[in-house]
Amino acid sequence: MISFDWALKRLLRNKANFVVLEGFLSELLHRQIVVKHIGESEGNQTNNTDKYNRVDVLVEADGRELVIIELQFDDEVDYFHRMLYGVSKSILEYIHKGESYSKVRKVYSINIVHFDLGKGNDYIYYGFTNFIGLHTKDALELSEDQYERYGKTCPGELYPEYYILKVKNFDDVAKNTLDEWIYYLKNNRIRDDFTALGLDKAREVLAYENLSEKEKKAYETQIEIDRIRISEFETVQYKGERKGRAEGRAEGRAEGEAERNLLKAQNTQLEADLKTAQAEKDQALTLIARNLLKKGISIEDVSDATGLSTQQIKQLKIEN
């Protein structure tokens, strides 16, 4: 089965295959979507030197709605900002100078990410703009005139909506038809028992054996490019981790050596202080012993009072 990213770039732009994308969007948005046009995008690869990291397409759906579909494989720290930029850019590109704000298109941003974007364990996240009263806690709604004009009940229905599909978090248990699409996005495989909208056509369009020889060669080339890219990424990551561990060990050794040198210096200083203190103590005891001997105190009593040996006392008596 052909991967979804390659299919977006090569196969699903054919109007005869729009039904596949319509099925995916209908399952995700929970209503029937009709694809009118698929725009070209800077992310579409045409040769091996083009950037490979993402695929993004702009779908113009029935009802003047725009749908951005992006696939991202490698971690990107500012990806949330890029989502916002993509939506803003599309809004500006699809409104002509001088047109009223009512001509602003409704935009859906659908992001299929193969890395851990943000912190969250779910595999589908949905973003919607809502206005809540700070005091009354009620949700702001459109007026009757606005409802008649736009057919919407709340401002959020006019604003962009965001979907993030963290496919790696999917547990491969398809509990509904949308999960069947998530299963395919993650595993590049459509099970025979899947019934989601668009998957019947996808089985036909995305089957490798149904590709032309030229398409097969292009797909195999892309697979090899992806394999090399993943290998290079893992190599860089491994080298970075190994360098980090080596630097950590070197830093640990340096810190350990510095700590040992510090302890050694502290011990040396302590020994010197002890020797100085002992010398001062001996000097004081010798002075006391001399004074006691001058007063006629016996050698034995002076030894008991000062802790000096009788031999040391005798020597002091001779010196006196």
CA atoms within 13 A on the CB side of 142: 16
Domain ranges in the chain are 4-211, 243-319
Query: What length is written for the chain?
Result: 320
Q: What is the pLDDT of residue 176?
A: 96
Count of helices and strands (H, E) across the chain: 9, 6
Highest mean pLDDT out of 44-48, 127-131, 256-260, 266-270 = 127-131
Instruction: Find which of 54-68, 147-161, 199-213 is predicted with most confidence, using mean pLDDT.
Output: 147-161
Single out the residue of 9, 12, 34 nearest to residue 206, CA to CA. Answer: 12
Pick 314 or 30 by higher pLDDT. 30
The residue with greater pLDDT, 51 or 91, is: 91
The widest CA-to-CA distance across the chain, in whole angstroms, is 126
Taking residues 248-263, what's their average pLDDT? Answer: 72
CB 17 within 8 A of CB 205: yes
Query: 0.95 cut: is pTM over it?
Result: no
What's the CA gap between 118 and 292, in Å, rounded? 84
**SS3 of 108, please?**
strand
Nearest CA-CA partner of 19 in 1, 4, 33: 33
Q: Rounded to the nearest 5°, which phi and psi values hold at 212?
A: -75, 165
DSSP 138: P
Nearest one of 277, 289, 295 to 314, comparing CA atoms: 289
Lowest pLDDT segment from 212-226, 235-249, 285-299: 235-249
**Around 266, how many Cα atoms within 13 Å sit in the side-chain half-sphere?**
6
pLDDT in tens, 119-154: 999 999 999 999 999 999 999 999 999 999 999 999
Question: Which pLDDT belongs to residue 234?
Answer: 64
**Residue 213 CA: distances (Å) to CA of 49, 168, 220:** 22, 32, 11
Q: Please state the rounded mean pLDDT for residues 213-218.
A: 80
**pLDDT cut 90: percent of the chain above it:** 40
pLDDT at 160: 96
Strand order in the sheet with 65-72: 35-39, 54-61, 65-72, 107-113, 161-166, 124-127
